[in-house]
Amino acid sequence: MIKRTVEISREAVHLGLRHKQLTFKRDGEIVHSIPCEEIGMVVVDHPGTTYTHAALRHLAESNAAVVICGVNHLPAAILLPIADHSEVVWRLQEQIAAPKPVCKRLWRQIVCAKIDAQAAVLPDSCGGRQRLKALISHVKSGDTSNVEARAAKIYWQYWYPEVEFRRDPDRGGLNAQLNYGYAVLRAAIARAIVSAGLTPAIGLHHRNRANPFCLADDLIEPFRPMVDERVRELHRQGYDSLSQECKGELLKLLTQQTTLGGEKGPWMVQLHRMLGSLVRCLRKEQTALEIPVPCE
Amino acid sequence: MAMFDLPTDTKQARKEYALFRKKLLEDGFYRMQYSIYLRPCASKENAEVHLRRLRAFLPPEGEVAVLSITDKQYERMEFMLGKLRECRPGMPNQLELF
């Protein structure tokens, strides 16, 4: 079942727990409550929010991720449950022992999927689409020739030609919207990784960095264009800052319909299938990673 | 929609009643009227999960009746008599903004 997403940014609330439900208290009165087991993600972006220990604990026990936003309204930290999985140790060992060739092959597949998704986002008429499609066949195992970067250069050039745009993670406007979208997907992926019994810190390609979310950063790549497309669409509709409505629209990406192996479903649900397939790949029971693709 | 009628004549029965009510609340039910509790479920499968749970914590005495109604049927329900104490809650959204 698709889990619910809660975003808190309009008014401060006190998050508590009562009868295993997350309660929203304002001025000492409970204004709303949601069963914790139905929650997938809580995004908190109001500096006045307060929590009880029990609320955070029960959210963790219900496998929900809590995302804490910083002063710039972008997710600053993710509170993830310690995997409540029966095979955690085995999975961890498999993940650490994953042979290099397997990781490199998977990374190649992820890069190909990303470029393919990027091509799908570009307008039909522009030449960028063909150029990207042509690049896909050049991706080698482990992407040793860094085709990913070449594709990115072409992609951003054609992405939104009507607007002067430079991808810069520290800028506001479109960049802030993109960052927010990516961060939300990253948190959802991290949650799926943990619930599959894997550790987000050990990546396939992103390695040896001071980054606790290497694996999430690997797996997010094919989905970034999904954010890009939505942000461009929202910007055309007149959303030019990271308002609450805009954030709400971006959070809806989690429920975007995708297909995987002929089956349709919300992205958030398909993610778990993808992680299941990753586990089989690491065990060498399967060679190709199953990656959900947005429905047309 | 769970409707129940539980005995409260002995101390033990009252305890069981209180426990049953607590479990209903913990499972996400809220009180619509005395002894009538409601829980919105996203799908038929989801409703079955809660039905199964309810069956597991049924008190030994008394009667519990459960009725599954669809969104449409709930919408058509007419609330009569007096003024409404509060707005009746609708179906929960997948995304909630606060």
Report residue A52: phi and psi, to 5°: -100, 155
pLDDT at position A108 is: 94
Strand order in the sheet with A263-266: A263-266, A257-260, A293-294
Beta strands in A49-93 (DSSP E): 50-51, 65-69, 75-79
Q: Quote the DSSP letter at residue A143.
A: G
Nearest to B43 among A1, A8, A34 (CB): A1
How far off is chain A from B68, nearest CA to CA, in Å?
A: 18
**Beta-carbon separation of A7 and B22 below 8 A:** no
- Considering chain A, tell me which residue range(s) the CATH 3.100.10.20 domain(s) occupy: 4-79
- Considering chain A, tell me which residue range(s) the CATH 1.20.120.920 domain(s) occupy: 88-294
Q: Which residues contact B15 (CB under 8 A, 6 or more apart)?
A: none
Q: Which residues contact A265 (CB under 8 A, 6 or more apart)?
A: A257, A258, A259, A292
**Beta-carbon separation of A24 and B98 below 8 A:** yes
Which residues on A lie below 8 Å from B26 (Cβ)?
Answer: 19-21
Whether residue A290 is predicted with pLDDT greater than 90 in this model: the reply is yes
In terms of CA atoms, which chain A residue is nearest residue B96? A6
CATH architecture assignment, domain A4-79? Ribosomal Protein L15; Chain: K; domain 2 (3.100)
Nearest to A248 among B27, B42, B97 (CB): B97
Whether residue A48 is predicted with pLDDT greater than 80 in this model: the reply is yes
pLDDT at position A194 is: 83
Question: DSSP alpha helices (H): ranges in A122-173?
Answer: 128-136, 147-159
> Mean of the per-residue pLDDT values for chain A?
88
Nearest to A6 among B25, B45, B96 (CB): B96
pLDDT at position A85 is: 66
B18: contact with A, CB 8 A cutoff? no
Measuring CA to CA, how many Å separate B13 from each of A19, B6, B9, B18, B19?
21, 8, 7, 9, 10
Least confident among A155-169, A264-278, B73-87: B73-87
Contact of B54 with B39, CB cutoff 8 Å? no
- A46 annotated binding-site participant: no
**HEC string for A226-286:** HHHHHHHHHHHCCCCCCCHHHHHHHHHHHHCEEEECCEEEEHHHHHHHHHHHHHHHHCCCC
Selected residues 32-51 of chain A with any CB under 8 Å from a CB in chain B: 32-35, 37-38, 46
Nearest to A21 among B22, B28, B98 (CB): B28
The 10s digit of each residue's pLDDT in B17-30 is 999 999 999 998 98
**Beta-carbon separation of B94 and A8 below 8 A:** no
What ipTM is given for this predicted complex? Answer: 0.76
In terms of CA atoms, which chain B residue is nearest residue A26? B98
In terms of CA atoms, which chain B residue is nearest residue A244? B97
- A221 annotated binding-site participant: yes
**Beta-carbon separation of A11 and B46 below 8 A:** no
- A206 annotated binding-site participant: yes
pLDDT at position A104 is: 92
Q: Which of A2, A3, A4, A250 to mutate to test the interface with B (most CBs of B within 10 A)?
A: A4
**Beta-carbon separation of B94 and A5 below 8 A:** yes
Which residues on A lie below 8 Å from B27 (Cβ)?
Answer: 20, 35
Q: What is the CATH number of domain A88-294?
A: 1.20.120.920
The 10s digit of each residue's pLDDT in A191-249 is 888 878 888 888 888 776 677 788 999 999 999 999 999 999 999 998 888 888 898 89
